[in-house]
Structure 1
Amino acid sequence: MADLFLKQAEEYAKARPSYPTELFQFIASKTPSHELAWDVGTGSGQAAKHLAGIYKNVIGTDTSEKQLEFATKLPNVKYQHTPSIMSMEEVEQKVAAQGSVDLVTIAQALHWFDLPSFYKQVKWVLKKPHGVIAAICYDVPRVSDEVDKVFDEYYEDVLSPYWEPGRKFVEDNYRSIDFPFEPVDGADHNVPFEFVSEVTMDLESYLTFMRSSSAYQTAKDKGVELLGEDLLQKFKVAWGHNASRVAKFPVFVRIGRVGDA
């Protein structure tokens, strides 16, 4: 799936929303130690930069070298290009040794993975019994009644045919995705916890975010321009004369831990 983002890696880095600090404080509160975090599918490092302020060391991996070029460079973050399928030997070589990782995060990427293989790797690298996995996704932005009405019509009627099948897991906030991990300490379930990320955007930033989606890129590769002049005009009218608006992105995290075995 990394190929879907190769052509717009810079747009992706600029347009994708950051995640609320409270989200990572919550996740980190569930790991007894804060030595090493692995951010899988790190893209341009939106999650990795948050983790870097909490964990002593962070490794961010991605199958797209182009995405990694735009990742935030920090002294305690190592970015690593990896193949889409890794053997356990490659995991040890490129990521970490068995039982050495406190936290594995996956932000807006779990639905692209071969889950049985990935979960096997996660259980191998995480410390037992308190190693934690946190799978994060975010829903569509909410701006105003007028803007949201145009966006929802665009999403349902124009964009939907170009999504990959895995998108359905994001649309239900990872509730139905396979997640074979135990509840973390202090929680009685591992269904999604909800947070909100607020981003101030002007209209151009908002449209850039829309163009950064994989579905938009798929359509573009097929010679289809989804944001034509008529639709752009509708967004301009809905946006009004405001130079900028606050976009609220609902953010969801499924968090669990490995057991003793």
Structure 2
Amino acid sequence: MSEKYWVPAIERTNLVIGLIAKEPGKHRLIDLSKALNINKSTMFSLLNTLETLGWIVKDHGDTYTLGPTLGGYSAAYFRKFNLLELFYKEASKSVKVIDETIQMGTLHGTNIVYLAKEENDSRVRLMSDPGMQFPAHATAIGKIQLTQFSYEEFQNLYANKQLDQSTPFTVKDKEELWHQIEAAKKVGYICEEQEAALGFYCVSAPIYNHENKLIYGISFTMMENSWKTKKQKAIEEIIDLASRLSKHAGYVS
């Protein structure tokens, strides 16, 4: 975006809220000031304004957490996703078939934002809860949503960005990532093996809306032993689930 139309105060506010959301109850004014390289007087004004508006709340120890105003905005945001209710209904059926956890997420820049999760009965719990973000290139649910882009759009999206390594198996090269995306476009799904977290394997498929636009990704996640025996069945089931949810969203193949 042109600097002519950039508002630095809003950018600073976004940085403050982002850090508080990531690490609630951890940072005081001085901590936020140092972490974000914003002088204390400016930070004081920002925090005071945000607290007055209810965007943040000061806890014991003078640390900050997100406030009720943002909670209301969040609820309003998620209300527009009527598909969430359908996700839980349909995903529960697929969980019974595969007995593994299913997640749904949406692409935000080069990150995936998790929106919903339907868990199986396993004692193993995924750390990725609704609202959390993770690099798209390191997840099947993120990679499948990158299939909506042309090569030029993909290059622009990742211009001047490195592919951070979540594990030793995370894709390192942008061209290799693009080849994976191209392959996924042809088959309608993508697999990811220990790229997001060691020991975990995923398969993801895309959800489309009535405009034939890719809007979400859904994925099965499981441990290695399950992956060896359930991979093919999980691929078939996640594709079927994505198809069912796409039809609910008005998609016509």
Higher relative contact order (CA 8 A, sep 6+): 1
Q: TM > 0.5 between the two?
A: no
- Rg bigger for which structure? 2
